[in-house]
């Protein structure tokens, strides 16, 4: 059964917009290697646009938001009116922000940009101002349960062409740590996927003191094995307090990180002042944020160096572009979120935006599995460590309904953490 059948679709005749009126809006759910939610808009003239609406572990909430509340508003609207549609969806709901709302708006926004670029006969980045560079530096995810396994993973990534590498390892005394692949990658592809297809979320354990003691020793070993040149990144996944984050940033300074990501749960933006006062390790934040307001203090006070928002979770290209333009005034660069839970549609949107903006920093690239690539056929390339969105009109992604229909939705949860005494901790 195709996921379009599962969630239904709506078709109405065209309105005054004529051939560019949105005639059909389908919410598609498929689970090739993991769950993906895609919005497909079709104009009266038959031009198709795709938008990613995947919200890891909460996928069906966005399906409902789109299906029940947004699709009926889209039918008959002129697909050309991207800004007006964005403002209408954001303001008319009255209830603002939030990951479900902003993922739904993002899907509409990206699908409309896809349509507009196809109508213009240009790759989307041309409509965003054209290319500001030739290719996009990407970082891959290396991990290991111990140093030999980690070194092996770093070598495999370098063989694949990666010129920047995120490093995550197990920590002695903790059973299961964020970002460490359960088994070493066999085909060379990093296969860590935190969401698990289970009825309930898996429970993991955590000990911040053990982590803080261990991580600097890992980076010391990696630098002495691979030398000073290779850009190295690390993700703290929101687990530290500001003072703990300050200490880690300071301890990592000798190893010259490209960035330390999500050192604290950053809803409390002011808390980053304390981290910043103590360390020159560059900071990246924002994968769980969904509007410019989440960055207001972080950017204006230059408390971070990289904005990590995803096109998919930040209201689309229209909204993320504004966040980047705001950040640019403070010499803050982009580092768009690109894990496997961003679909190839969301990834393609990110690459078009990356190519066009001036303050591009780096792009996360985790690489989808073969079944996902078969479901979403995309034109983007990864050559010599650099990504490029390709030059097909639009986003450059095709959704194959027949392949998608083979992989029905499966319930999946992200794991969660408890400290040794049983207290729930940030994951
Ligand atoms: C992450 C993600 O890519 C990253 O930096 O922190 O792996 C994140 O855990 C998932 O996207 C959650 O959905
Ligand atoms: Mg992260």
Indicate the helix (H) or strand (E) that contains 248.
helix 242-252
Q: Are strands 376-378 and 397-399 parallel, antiparallel or unpaired?
A: antiparallel
Atom of ligand 1 nearest to the CA of 178: 9
Task: Answer yes or no: is pLDDT of 4 > 80.
Answer: no
Among the candidates 76, 93, 122, a domain finishes at 122
80: left (phi over 0), alpha (psi -120 to 50) or beta: alpha
Pair 156, 287 in one domain = yes
Pair 152, 62 in one domain = no
Taking only the tens place, the pLDDT of each residue in 52-68 is: 999 999 999 999 999 99
Pair 374, 266 in one domain = yes
Q: What is the CATH number of the domain that holds 52?
A: 3.30.390.10
Asked if residue 110 is part of any domain, the answer here is: yes
Indicate the helix (H) or strand (E) that contains 374.
helix 370-375
Q: Which residue puts its alpha carbon closest to atom 7 of ligand 1?
A: 339
Q: Give the C-alpha separation, 301 to 284, whole Å.
A: 14
pLDDT number for residue 133: 98
Asked if residue 184 is part of any domain, the answer here is: yes
Asked if residue 405 is part of any domain, the answer here is: no
193: confidence class by pLDDT, cuts 50, 70, 90: confident
Asked if residue 134 is part of any domain, the answer here is: yes
pLDDT number for residue 7: 40
Q: What is the mean pLDDT of residues 206-228?
A: 98
Asked if residue 174 is part of any domain, the answer here is: yes
Taking only the tens place, the pLDDT of each residue in 289-340 is: 999 999 999 999 999 999 999 999 999 999 999 999 999 999 999 999 999 9
Radius of gyration of the chain (CA): 21
- Please, which residues bridge with residue 413 across strands? 196
Indicate the helix (H) or strand (E) that contains 356.
helix 344-356
pLDDT number for residue 9: 44
Atom of ligand 1 nearest to the CA of 57: 13
Task: Answer yes or no: is pLDDT of 5 > 50.
Answer: no
Q: How far is the CA of 306 from the centre of ligand 2 (A)?
A: 12
Q: What does the DSSP 8-state code read for residue 206?
A: E
Pair 204, 69 in one domain = no
Q: How far is the CA of 339 from the centre of ligand 1 (A)?
A: 6
Taking only the tens place, the pLDDT of each residue in 77-132 is: 999 999 999 999 999 999 999 999 999 999 999 999 999 999 999 999 999 999 99
Q: Which residue puts its alpha carbon closest to atom 1 of ligand 1?
A: 339
2: confidence class by pLDDT, cuts 50, 70, 90: very low
Helix, strand, or coil here: 127? helix
Pair 108, 194 in one domain = no
143-181 exposure pattern, b = at least 16 Cβ within 10 A, e = fewer: bbeeeebbbebbebbbeeebbbbbbbbbbeebeebbbbb
Q: How far is CA 139 from the centre of its chain?
A: 13
Pair 313, 288 in one domain = yes
| Structural domain boundaries enclosing 257 | 127-393
CA dihedral sign of residues 32, 394, 316, 157: positive
Pair 100, 191 in one domain = no
Atom of ligand 1 nearest to the CA of 366: 3
Pair 176, 113 in one domain = no
Pair 74, 157 in one domain = no
Q: What is the CATH number of the domain that holds 185?
A: 3.20.20.120
How many structural domains are present in the chain? 2
């Amino acid at each position: 059964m195709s996921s379009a059948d599962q969630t239904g679709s709506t078709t109405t005749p065209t309105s005054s917009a004529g051939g560019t009126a949105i005639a059909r809006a389908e919410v598609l759910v498929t689970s090739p290697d993991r769950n993906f939610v895609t919005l497909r808009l079709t104009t009266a003239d038959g031009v198709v646009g795709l938008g990613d609406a995947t919200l890891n572990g909460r996928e069906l909430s966005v399906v409902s938001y789109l299906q029940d509340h947004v699709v009926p508003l889209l039918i008959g609207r002129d697909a050309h009116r991207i800004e007006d549609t964005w403002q209408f969806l954001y303001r008319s709901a009255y209830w603002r922000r939030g990951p479900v709302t902003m993922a739904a708006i993002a899907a509409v926004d990206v699908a409309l940009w896809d349509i507009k670029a196809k109508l213009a006969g240009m790759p989307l980045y041309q409509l965003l101002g054209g290319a500001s560079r030739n290719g996009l530096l990407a970082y891959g995810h290396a991990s290991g349960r111990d140093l030999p396994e980690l070194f092996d993973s770093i070598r495999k990534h370098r063989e694949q062409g990666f010129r920047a590498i995120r490093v995550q390892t197990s920590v002695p005394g903790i059973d299961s740590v964020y970002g460490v692949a359960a088994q070493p990658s066999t085909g060379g592809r990093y296969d860590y996927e935190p969401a698990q297809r289970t009825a309930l979320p898996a429970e993991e354990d955590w000990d911040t003191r053990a982590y803080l003691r261990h991580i600097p020793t890992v980076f010391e070993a990696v630098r002495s094995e691979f030398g000073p040149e290779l850009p190295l990144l690390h993700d703290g996944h929101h687990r530290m307090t500001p003072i703990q984050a300050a200490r880690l940033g300071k301890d990592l300074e000798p190893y010259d990180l490209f960035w330390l990501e999500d050192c604290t749960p950053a809803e409390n933006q002011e808390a980053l002042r304390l981290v910043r006062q103590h360390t020159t390790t560059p900071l990246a934040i924002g994968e769980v944020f969904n509007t410019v307001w989440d960055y207001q203090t972080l950017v204006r006070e230059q408390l971070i160096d990289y904005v990590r928002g995803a096109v998919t979770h930040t209201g689309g290209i229209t909204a993320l572009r504004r966040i980047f333009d705001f950040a640019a005034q403070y010499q803050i660069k982009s580092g768009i979120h690109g894990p496997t839970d961003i679909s190839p549609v969301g990834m393609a949107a990110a690459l078009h935006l990356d190519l066009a903006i001036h303050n591009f920093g780096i792009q996360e690239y985790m690489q989808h599995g073969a079944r996902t690539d078969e479901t979403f056929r995309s034109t983007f390339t990864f050559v010599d460590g650099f990504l490029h969105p390709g030059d097909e009109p639009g986003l450059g992604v095709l959704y194959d309904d027949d392949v998608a229909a083979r992989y029905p939705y499966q319930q999946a949860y992200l794991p969660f953490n408890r400290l040794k005494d049983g207290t729930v901790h940030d994951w």
